């Protein structure tokens, strides 16, 4: 499909050539990074270089970076790493948080998707004893950005720890663990343009984290198992480039704004969800009245345009978004919502194609007749 257009960067970023090259170079070499001979030391060097690059991306020290198999494992390590602490999570968190801690207290969000700080305050005050709070830096479906600095201040007043899933935010927003004041932070390689199968949990200094995966003493005893050297090398290369690309997010945001303006021109009854809150510069969640998300995803795919309905981490299922339900979005709107997520490789002509194809779906559904009748 020569003219296929990829507008699903929140699901996974195209692998950067430098990241692919770094992974391929590591794969072509032999050596276990735990071995003390020359081959092992070369593999260890690749891992530690990647650790430095990841640390630089989020304003941390290299020793704070624990490599994992991806964002899901990093989230699980954070949630299970502090036994005895009760867990509080945002109602719009990724499934890798909600399903890992099904008994956690869920903190409601407002209609704009932003955490209700009063509700969080009440939940923290409700029970004595230490707690761990997990709040996404930015939502993967709507792009809504959470006030992490303010949340951290509140959480720390109660002596609790704050974990933030920064999988979507790290490559797209100015980001510094020290400024955010979070205690733990999750990253995923393939959301940065690295290979799948590599991620990291970044810790502030002084945390006593219990390992979840046990065995050998890799990653300072915090994550057992031989390191995925090719994946980690690719993650490191992608992290270095992601830091350089952040200034270019302004252009991506301008393209997103043009997209939303043209969407509403084409279908005035459409809804941009999360638009009343600060959002990631690349993310648009839009509902087409009267046409299901699944119909839109399939029709656009046939037209050579890749978008998604909600998270891509639900075994390929198209279902009503728990994020939109938590925001109080009406069922008929939530069931017609799709996500368009742009990248630095997105172009105005991609927007042209999307709007043309999307408006055609609306017209075929009888939307034009409904709109005219409503006047």
* Tens-digit pLDDT profile for residues 262-273: 999 999 999 999
- CA dist., res. 155 & res. 117, Å (int): 10
What domains does the chain contain, in order, with CATH numbers?
5-13+247-374 (3.90.1150.10), 17-245 (3.40.640.10)
Regions in the chain scoring below 70 on pLDDT? 1-2, 310-319, 367-375
Closest CA to 93 of 315, 321, 307: 321
pLDDT at 375: 42
Kindly give the residue spans of alpha helices, DSSP state H, lying in the chain. 17-27, 38-58, 71-80, 95-98, 117-126, 148-157, 177-180, 229-245, 249-266, 293-302, 322-326, 331-334, 348-364, 367-374
- Predicted confidence at residue 315, as pLDDT, reads 41
pLDDT at 212: 86
pLDDT at 2: 55
Spatial strand order of the sheet with 337-341 comes to 271-272, 283-287, 337-341
pTM confidence score: 0.93
- Please give the C-alpha separations between residue 5 and each of 2, 57, 267, 340, 346, in angstroms, as whole numbers: 9, 28, 21, 11, 9
Q: Would you state the pLDDT for residue 372?
A: 43
In tens, the pLDDT along 182-212 reads 999 999 999 999 999 999 999 998 899 999 8
Q: Beta partners for 278?
A: none
Count of H-run helices and E-run strands, the chain: 14, 12
The pLDDT assigned to 10 comes to 97
**Which amino acids are annotated catalytic?**
313
64-to-50, 83, 164, 186 alpha-carbon distances in Å: 13, 20, 15, 12
User: Does residue 277 contact residue 113 with C-beta atoms inside 8 Å?
Assistant: yes
């Amino acid at each position: 499909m020569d003219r296929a257009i990829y507008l699903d960067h929140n699901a996974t970023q195209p692998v950067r050539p430098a990241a692919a090259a770094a992974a391929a170079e590591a794969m072509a070499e032999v050596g276990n990074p735990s071995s003390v001979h020359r081959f092992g030391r070369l593999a260890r060097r690749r891992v530690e270089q990647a650790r430095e690059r990841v640390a630089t991306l989020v304003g941390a020290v290299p020793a704070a970076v624990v490599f994992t198999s991806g964002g899901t494992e990093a989230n699980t390590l954070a949630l299970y790493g502090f036994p005895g602490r009760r867990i509080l999570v945002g109602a719009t968190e990724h499934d890798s948080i909600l399903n890992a801690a099904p008994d956690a207290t869920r903190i409601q969000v407002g209609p704009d998707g932003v955490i209700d700080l009063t509700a969080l305050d009440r939940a923290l005050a409700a029970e004595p004893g230490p707690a761990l709070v997990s709040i996404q830096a930015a939502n993967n479906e709507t792009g809504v950005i959470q006030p992490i600095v303010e949340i951290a201040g509140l959480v720390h007043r109660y002596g609790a720890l704050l974990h933030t899933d920064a999988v979507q935010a790290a490559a797209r927003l100015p980001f510094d663990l020290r400024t955010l004041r979070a205690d733990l932070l999750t990253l995923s390689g393939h959301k940065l343009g690295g290979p799948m199968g590599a991620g990291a949990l970044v810790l502030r200094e002084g945390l006593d984290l219990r390992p979840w995966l046990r065995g050998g003493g890799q990653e300072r005893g915090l994550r057992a198992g031989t390191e995925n050297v090719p994946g980690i090398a690719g993650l490191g290369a992608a992290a270095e480039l992601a830091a350089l690309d952040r200034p270019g997010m302004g252009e991506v945001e301008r393209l997103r704004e043009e997209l939303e303006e043209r969407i509403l021109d084409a279908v005035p009854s459409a809804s941009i969800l999360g638009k009343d809150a600060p959002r990631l510069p690349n993310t648009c969640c839009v509902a087409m009245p009267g046409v299901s998300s699944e119909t839109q995803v399939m029709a656009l795919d046939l037209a050579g345009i890749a978008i998604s309905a909600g998270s891509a981490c639900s075994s390929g299922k198209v279902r009503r978004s728990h994020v939109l339900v938590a925001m109080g979005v009406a069922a008929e709107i939530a069931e017609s919502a799709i996500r368009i997520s742009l990248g630095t490789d997105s172009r105005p002509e991609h927007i042209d194609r999307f709007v043309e194809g999307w408006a055609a779906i609306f017209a075929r559904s009888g939307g034009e007749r409904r709109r005219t009748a409503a006047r």
